[in-house]
Amino acid sequence: MFPIHRPRRLRTHPQLRRMVRETVLTTNDLIYPLFAVPGNGIAKEVKSMPGVYQLSVDKIVEEAKVVYDLGIPAIILFGIPEDKDVDATGAWHDCGIVQKAATAVKEAVPDLIVIADTCLCEYTSHGHCGYLQVGDLTGQVLNDPTLELLKKTAVSQAKAGADIIAPSGMMDGFVQAIREGLDAAGFQNTPILSYAAKYASAYYGPFRDAADSTPQFGDRRTYQMDPGNGREAIKEVELDIAEGADMLMVKPALAYMDIIWRVKEATNLPVAAYNVSGEYSMIKAAALNDWIDEKRVVLETLTGFKRAGADLILTYHAKDAARWLQ
């Protein structure tokens, strides 16, 4: 009855465990989201996301320097404009808040990669991701006219200095439209990180506080994916690859690790996972109540995303994780 195989032999010492570890999380895997707002000297904490702030451009620059010094290679910018309208003007205007933040960060920290979230919900008066039919109170976004807005937005963000364009509105054909727009404007080398499999998730709640993007009516289920669908994610991924996507994203991450795995198995492109606001806030709330060991839970969760197949992880934990990994 003597055991022939003893897997515990390789677990007896910390250094030995480190030597045989299959999945290793590093700061190179991390992308830190930032929320830009008009004004100066503003750092307003998001009530539902402890430790996350709406920041004016000068504060965004300060934060970008901290992020870079921690070894995190990239940030992704979201914007809250001063005014909103049905044309999402703040998204594509040359003086838009994300455009200003991108330019300022690239001037101050040129080696930090700046990703621009290319969506319209923060900028429309109704909170949906594009044009609506006049009188529509359901949120049925008009797909093809919205593509023109996304194209304009992507080009303006690239002109402002964004290194990567990340369309997140889940419009059909949005990657192709943006690729055509970028190429025509001379940005052939600007990559597209597509939110290829973005689900209509309840985990986005705190983000809508941070980005002031809650729909005024209806919901986003007519354009974001149904949480019960897995095969459809691969269909969306294949379409985005055919349209010219350079990288792919699965959002959210925690309840969709099977999707991360399936997307990774289906493609040779880099795969990103977005560790979204609700996932962050649950851990923060539990940690603030001393119910969990925050450091261990965060690092275990992020490692799980990477083990599932994520090459990149967008996470509000990025700065803490980078410090812990040091």
The pLDDT of residue 219: 83
More confident residue, 324 or 127: 324
pLDDT at 216: 83
* Token output for 231: 């095969």
Instruction: Tell me the pLDDT tens digit for each residue of 93-105.
Output: 999 999 999 999 9
Give the count of beta carbons closer than 10 Å to the beta carbon of residue 325: 17
Can you tell me the mean pLDDT for 58-81?
A: 98
> Which one is catalytic: 59, 84, 198, 319?
198
Q: Is the pLDDT of residue 58 over 90?
A: yes
Instruction: Render pLDDT for 213-240 as a digit per residue (tens, 0 to 9).
Output: 788 887 888 899 999 999 999 999 999 9
Burial 209-245 (b: 16+ CB within 10 A, else e): bbbbbeeeebebeebbbebeeeeebbebbebbbebbb
Between CA 279 and CA 256 the distance in angstroms is 12
- So what's the pLDDT on residue 315? 98
For residue 315, the SS3 value is strand
- Binding-site positions: 119, 121, 129, 208, 220, 236, 277, 316
Whether the pLDDT of residue 141 is over 80: the answer is yes
User: At 272, is the secondary structure helix, strand, or coil?
Assistant: strand
Distance set, CA 114 to CA 91, 106, 125 (Å): 16, 8, 26
Q: Is 251 a catalytic residue?
A: yes
**What burial class does residue 287 get, using C-beta atoms within 10 Å of its C-beta: 0-12 exposed, 13-18 middle, 19+ buried?**
middle
pLDDT at 41 over 90: yes
Report the relative pairing of strands 43-45 and 53-56 from DSSP bridges: antiparallel
pLDDT over 70 percentage in the chain:
100
Residue in 8, 55, 11 with CA at minimum distance from that of residue 33: 55
- Structure-block tokens of residue 164: 């990567």
Catalytic residue among 100, 106, 151, 251: 251
Binding residue numbers for Zn(2+): 119, 121, 129
Average per-residue pLDDT for the chain: 96
Annotated catalytic, 198? Answer: yes
pTM: 0.96
- 313 is written with which tokens? 């992880």
